[in-house]
Amino acid sequence: MPDWSGLIPLMPAASDLPGSRARGVYAALRRAIETGRLPPGAKLPPSRALAAQWGLARGAVVAGYEMLLAEGFAEARVGAGTFVAGAVPQLAPPPAAPPTTAAWQARDLPGDLGLAFPDPISLAALRVLVSRTLARPAPALFHYADPRGDAGLRAALADYLRVARGLRLDPDRIVLTAGTQGALDLIARAVLAPGDTVWMEDPGYPSARAAFADQRLCPVPVDAEGLDVAAGIARAPGARAAYVTPAHQFPLGVVLSMRRRLALLDWAARAGAWVIEDDYDSEFRYAGPPLAALQGMDGAGRVIYAGTFSKALMPGLRMGYLVLPEALIAPVLALRQRSDRAPAGLIEPAMAAFLAEGGFARHLRRARLRSLAARDALVAALRDGGAQPKAPDQGLHLTLPLPTGTDDHALVARLRAAGLGCRALSGMYAGPDCPSPARPGLVIGFSGHAPEVLGAAARRGRAAVQGGLSAAFEPAAHSQAEDI
């Protein structure tokens, strides 16, 4: 256990000290031990240091320690000091673990969403680049830097986004964030007001709905062409913003058609609304030409573009970015400066070099091959079990529609118990405000685990649902997929 004894904030109550100073020391330390502030095995402060801290004679502190030793609350170790005893009574039990702890620990099954593949080559390259940053630290690391983030990283990002995603931008319009969720939170608080109406894809990304919890959400149905813009205009023509995933709609996986893109941009320009483009997994395209971002088509400056490194590299990096219209830079930076001031600067120079020196491009080529192999293994295993999933051309998950009436939440529970991670499609609809009935289905990820591991998990899942729920894996499920 680390020695924190010199930092323990102990102060006896005034009522503890009148009379015997030693008894006051004893009472204060015993109270800290019984309430768990000083856990078993913790080192007590040296008597000389505690005497100086409390303004007492050292003899009073030594006598207080002797009382603790005599009653079994402490134990002395020759040459090491005085420590809280290994077994002591406590007045209150230690605080329980947060109720979400078990849920987070269970999120690493094959098939779960939000996982990334560890890449030893990229990790080694980043380790060298971070070491380089620490060996020759820039002055910006030692003061509060630009709230937009490192200038070198923003320049490298701008070069990448122009070529790979067709964006119109310059580095000054990029703001680095703590992933996509951090980006959406900035937009919800800096650009929108509480009560503003926001179009949300239905079904859609639950965490995006959570980010805009202070706004009035208007669910807009999604079909084979993506967000139904005409339905959005009919339901809320004066909405302040629209949240979309045009390159790979989450969770259905469809692409926003060209006519819908033009209609969405036209509506935003006429209504003075913002289009929030979440381009969360555009790096992973396996067939067909690359898809340009919606932002590159925007001539009126109404699109807010959000990207992330969580899918391509790792969620633990906690790095995303916004590309803002000129009019929104000032309010977003004002909020950033009064909240977390600036993004974490240590990793940014390393990431700038990783992009500029070609490491990220090489990483993406390897990552696509791994994801493609995992996708194919999952699809093959599901088809062997009787399902008819469509292999997606993009992204890191597939959606398997199920027959009407299937309890997809119950099916998910049985599949997870068998070791296959997945989520219920019906839970991604807006609920009572849903413009169309929620459809049952499974949303299964194929990133973060080797193909053979993912295939084995899918086969175990098939075996687990034999019986009452096995109809969900029958080929008839494919008929509904054609409607999406």
Going by C-alpha positions, the residue among 311, 307, 312 that lies closest to residue 294 is 307
CB 472 within 8 A of CB 436: no
CA distance 96 to 230: 50
Judge whether residue 458 has pLDDT over 90: yes
Question: What 3-state DSSP class applies to 403?
Answer: coil
> How far is 210 from 94, CA to CA, in rounded Å?
31
CA 370, 245, 396: angle at the middle one, nearest 5?
Answer: 15
Q: Are strands 174-177 and 81-84 parallel, antiparallel or unpaired?
A: unpaired
Average pLDDT over residues 468-484: 45
Contact residues for 402 (Cβ-Cβ < 8 A; gap 6+): 408, 411, 425, 439, 440, 441, 442, 472, 477, 480
Q: Tell me the β-bridge partners of 176.
A: 321
Closest to 328 measured CA to CA, from 264, 269, 274, 268: 274
The 10 Å CB-count burial string (b at 16+, else e) for 146-170 is bbbbbbbbbbbbbebbeebbebbbe
Cα(227)–Cα(275) distance, integer angstroms: 12
Mean pLDDT for 313-327 is 95
For 367, phi then psi, to 5°, come to -65, -40
pLDDT at 167 over 70: yes
- Kindly report whether the global pTM for this prediction surpasses the value 0.85: no
pLDDT at 17 over 60: no
Q: Specify whether the CB–CB gap between 371 and 248 falls below 8 A.
A: no
The partner residues of 303 in beta bridges, in order of sequence, read 275
pLDDT at 79: 85
The residue type at 317: L
What tokens does 207 get? 């965490």
209 compared with 50, residue with greater pLDDT:
209
| CA atoms 243, 280, 265, 270: torsion sign | positive
At residue 235, the 3 state secondary structure works out as: helix
For the cut 90, the answer to whether the pLDDT of residue 185 exceeds it is yes
Q: Who wins on pLDDT, 250 or 479? A: 250
